[in-house]
Amino acid sequence: MNLGMSSNNDDILLLKLIKQGDQIAFKHLFYQYTDSLERFITYYIHDREKSQELVLDIFTYIWENRKHFEIKLTLKAYLFQAARNKAFTYIRDKKIPVYLEDVSSLEIGQDYNTDLELQELYRLIEEAVCLLPEKCREIFKKSREENLTNKEIAQLLHISEKTVEGQITIALKKIRVYLGDSYSYLW
């Protein structure tokens, strides 16, 4: 198993070993992805300590369910999808506003390749937002960057809440299309 880079074959072997209760394989998985997942979650919830807790929840779930653990995606895609779900559940439950941040706020850690991937993802999202139609972009930015509610946006722009919801839905669809299949695990 290549300990430096992750490939799909390495992931399959790693999962097989973890299912057999191999603690060394599990530790390898944990150390390989922990920093990247923490940064990924912190980007959304802005709480490093809580991010660490949520990442531990993900790995605890994997270890406790290792005998029956199955993934349909790559291991990396599964982990980032789980991290995204944890972050969004936390945001929903705590009513934390979500917005796009400047890529420069990311900390560069041990996993340089993942940092580059995240920076590329944020750059692509920013590009996709810039390509949105003007009104759609304005509504999306007010929602995600200014943290305004749909009702506040509707009042500010003198439009209906349904129009705001529709424009945000359109924006998200266009961003997904722009990102393509490479980042489908985010949705």
Q: Where are the domains of the chain?
A: 7-98, 129-187
Q: Which CATH architecture has domain 129-187?
A: Orthogonal Bundle (1.10)
What pLDDT shows up at residue 8?
A: 62
Query: Please, what CATH class does the domain formed by 7-98 belong to?
Result: mainly alpha
Residue 103 has pLDDT above 60, yes or no: no
pTM reported for the whole predicted model: 0.51
pLDDT at position 108 is 40
Region 88-117: what's the mean pLDDT?
55
- Of all residues in the chain, the percent with pLDDT exceeding 70 is 78
Nearest to 59 by CA among 25, 17, 30: 30
pLDDT digits (tens, 9 = 90+) for 110-154: 444 455 666 677 778 888 888 899 999 999 999 888 888 999 999
Of 121, 128, 122, 102, give the one whose Cα is nearest residue 182: 121
For the segment 82-101, the average pLDDT, to the nearest whole number, is: 71
Half-sphere exposure of 9 (CA within 13 A, CB side): 3
Position 61 scores a pLDDT of 93
Q: What is the pLDDT of residue 84?
A: 86
pLDDT-derived band at 155, boundaries 50, 70, 90: very high
| Per-chain mean pLDDT for the chain | 80
Give the pLDDT band of residue 96 (cuts 50, 70, 90). low
H helices within 65-145, ranges in order?
A: 75-94, 112-130, 134-144
